[in-house]
Amino acid sequence: MAMPGSSDRESTLKNVLLIATAGLALLNGMHFSPLFDPVLFFVHRLAPKFLSPLVLFYFNSLLISLTTLLLAGVPTAIYERVRGLKESTTVSLCIWLSGVLLLTLPALQSAARGE
């Protein structure tokens, strides 16, 4: 028998895990990330000349963040497929958060060093 309010707690936990996942992915796209300059080099080469440098800067950040979310979501999707889940559980969201954390570790280390 489920405890009263347990679905509310689970829903809140899922929301917290999603916000943490998105926040870490955004950190990976920041200017202190080791990926920022190499990706910006290619984005600058492939972008149309009429785009301003500020737009390219933000687009680069967004591109790295979204790629982080996509790559970290692969193990989560495999887990959900193997388990036959129809929707995400707290375990699958924890797997996704862990993947994002692993991909964001170099950026966090760079930020801690003040680079």
The larger pLDDT score, comparing residue 47 to residue 20, is at 20
| In the predicted structure, residue 25 carries a pLDDT above the cut 60 | yes
Q: What is the DSSP string of 23-92?
A: HHHHHHTSTTSTTHHHHHHHHHHHS-TTS-HHHHHHHHHHHHHHHHHHHHHHHHHHHHHHHT-SS--HHH
pLDDT at residue 76, as a whole number: 96
pLDDT band at 17 (very low <50, low <70, confident <90, very high): very high
Q: How confident is the model at residue 82 (pLDDT cuts 50, 70, 90)?
A: very high
Average pLDDT, whole number, for the chain?
Answer: 91
pLDDT class for 101, splitting at 50, 70, 90? Answer: very high
What is the pTM assigned to this prediction? 0.86
Q: What does the domain layout of the chain look like in residue ranges?
A: 22-113
